[in-house]
Structure 1
Amino acid sequence: MAPAFPFSAIAGQDEMKLAMTIAAVDGSIGGVLVFGDRGTGKSTVVRALAGLLPTIRAADCPYHCNPDKEDTLCDHCREQIQSGKALNVREMNVPVVDLPLGVTEDRVVGALDLEQALTRGEKAFEPGLLARANRGFLYIDEVNLLEDHIVDLLLDVAASGENVVEREGLSVRHPAKFVLIGSGNPEEGELRPQLLDRFGLSVEVSTPEELHTRMQVVRRRDEYESDPKAFVQKWAEQDTEVRERIEKGREKLPHVEVTDEILERTSTLCIALGTDGLRGELTLIRAARAAAALEQADQVELKHLRQVASVALRHRLRRDPLDESGSTTRVQRAVEEHLPA
């Protein structure tokens, strides 16, 4: 199996790469939605991010619980600690799980282990994709084509951070905190508003129009397909630098200050744009804080708000029949007015 395309080698999609690194620094932002033309590297960026992320410490259980946070442990790990036994801890890569279209509900949430039930006569739980994605990323390609009942499941779990399964005499509750990554082509249908609102950041990608960028993309892709291992090795140093930035950003994040002035500017911008609810402001603040942490800044500045305003707010605007300009243009106009450089 060929290694993933290097994250650093991806050209022409700077906004998408920024959104992914911000989500990697602060998983509470709510994930990333990537909408755009076919063949623009949407899936490539997700796969590349998976190979870039730092390893995590995990308990040796189906949900790879965080051994340093007892309140988030599954029942099995909690029982083990209460009985006086130490958890078996291992280092593992951050899970990145694909959720395919047409997937069944049992495959997503988990179900009765039929093999064990038939061979041993025991009722046992077979974890699903949500269990595998805990503490990692759940990736849905063509997310706008996902069936409604699966969307409802994801909304419930994303809101609670827990997956609850009660069926066939089983009652199982386990942690399911993940960063949701969705990609799709807007020509194939719109996303349900309830799911759209759950994505923290939204990225619009398009085919590059600059000649130099197009040539760069084609050259790098051709070089990668000719010799994947050599190409990955060529970009290993740059990918290491990005990984270190993410690690340092995570460490810096709790210490980044958000002043009252920044909060006031954020609320003023959201009021001007008429965003629904307060989720837009919370996401904008969190994204700006993560952007500041990536730069090792001590506090959020106006430049950080400007940097992330479009990705945090463009999918939260009400449709204005009197304004034919796109949501990105509306956000940019409001940023120029209320967050001048």
Structure 2
Amino acid sequence: MKSKFLLDSEITYLNHGAFGACPKPIFEDYQKWQAELEHQPTAFITKKLPQYLRTSKQALARYINCDADDFFFVSNPTFAINVVMRSLDLKPGDEILATNHEYGAMDRTWDFYCKKSGAKYVRQEISLPIQSKEQIISEFWKGYNANTKVVFLNQISSVTSLIFPVREICEKAQQLGLIVIVDGAHVPGHIPLDMQQIDADFYTGTMHKWMLAPKGNSFLWVKKEFQERLDPLVVSWGYQSDSPGNQFLDYHEFIGTRDMAAFLTAPAAIQFLEENDWWQQSKIGKALIRKHYPRFCDLLGSEPICPVTEEFLGQMCSIPIRTSHPTALKETLIDTYKIEIPVMKINNRFFIRISLNAYNSEADLERLYTALTEIKAATDFLQ
């Protein structure tokens, strides 16, 4: 599989979860759209693009089981949450209930909003190690009170790699009349996603991570009852359009001149996934994670932060480490051993995160194991 990707053959790439990796056929499709744009920019943007977008959205809609009119493409989930955030009408004292496992950019987004609005962002502790799904749900709802108006939750945590029981939390949140916003950045192409089953009010996911599409390719899905309440983050020609259609899409799809070629690759990305039996490829990667996670924990003197099952782990796992030199550890791994892997911090704890895709092999994990063994013996980077 590695020959189908553009990755540097000299690098052991164990960081798919950061920015994904695009296979050659999908990247060629991306460049095809860019070439067509530059061949006749005016005709492409003013005449052809709406139908091209429609075709791409219909392909993605079938893949995630939703209506193509209920989402629009964005560059990344942070952009998407900023759109949602600026349309919320929370009052001083209102609370947004999240976990202490959220992505750092999202924490910063809500911190910004709360300073402007007077609302409060509650990072409810989900303690480690995880014992069960019921533990997560119980601990999460301990953060709820009469002031809670919004639930914000990642479906798969970026730093801790944990899969959260989003469907169950969404179900209770809807019963309580709360607005539900889900960050599913790591979900599409990683674990099955069915928008009808999730029942969030807002859901953002990426195509450029586990769906293998080009960078800057994500979406924001919005439940119909919230669509007209969503203000455009950028006001442009879609606002009070000269040719009005669907206000929700007018406001958010046409926000000025930009290269939308990445958005048009959904059919090519999905075709690649299907032709290469990607759920089987994913199954292999998940099995490797479960096989090796306890072994790496033993090497680094830590315990798994969750049961080693598919309920909590996909194609990523995060190993707690004790280090006073996180940057030096990461740079040594890439500079000396040619291993690209992140060392991440959350809640004053450090983790080294392994993420695998079909271009990885068990030999890549052995290479990492050897490197960490040598670093542990030769430096004080791992305590």
**Which TM-score bucket, shorter chain as reference?**
0.3 to 0.5
More helix as a share of residues: 1
TM-score, reference length from structure 1: 0.33
